[in-house]
């Protein structure tokens, strides 16, 4: 998955969170930003990486998101790898 596709999926995840005030509140609290600040930074790849980290940290939320978007459960993890900080380490 390329970075553009990953950002699109992360934006879908952000919209999914925004539709659920409880989940958006949890994400806002963990990120240290208010919902309006989050929406202002919606195009920031680093924020989108945080959205995907949040999604991937909650199996029930991840499952619900994947079901709502007809995605295989591993697809968000692939998207996360294409966002800042998501590259797997290269050990030598």
Cβ count near 58 (within 10 Å)? 13
Residue 89 is assigned to a structural domain of this protein: no
To which residue do tokens 């959205």 refer? 51
How confident is the prediction along the chain (92 residues), in pLDDT tens digits per residue? 899 999 999 999 999 999 999 999 999 999 999 988 998 999 999 999 999 999 999 999 999 999 999 999 999 999 999 999 887 654 44
Domain assignment of residue 14, yes or no: yes
Domain count along the chain: 1
**92: in domain:** no
Question: Residues 24, 16: contact at Cβ < 8 Å?
Answer: no
Domain annotation covers residue 88: no
Q: State the Cα–Cα distance between residues 38 and 43, nearest whole angstrom.
A: 10
Domain range for residue 69? 3-81
Question: Which pLDDT belongs to residue 35?
Answer: 85
């Amino acid at each position: 998955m390329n970075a553009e596709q990953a950002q699109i999926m992360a934006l879908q995840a952000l919209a999914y969170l925004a539709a659920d005030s409880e989940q958006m509140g949890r994400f806002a609290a963990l990120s240290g930003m208010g919902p309006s600040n989050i929406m202002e930074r919606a195009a920031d790849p680093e924020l989108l990486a945080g959205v995907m980290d949040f999604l991937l940290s909650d199996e029930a939320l991840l499952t619900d998101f994947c079901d709502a978007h007809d995605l295989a459960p591993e697809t968000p993890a692939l998207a996360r790898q294409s966002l800042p900080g998501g590259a797997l380490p290269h050990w030598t």
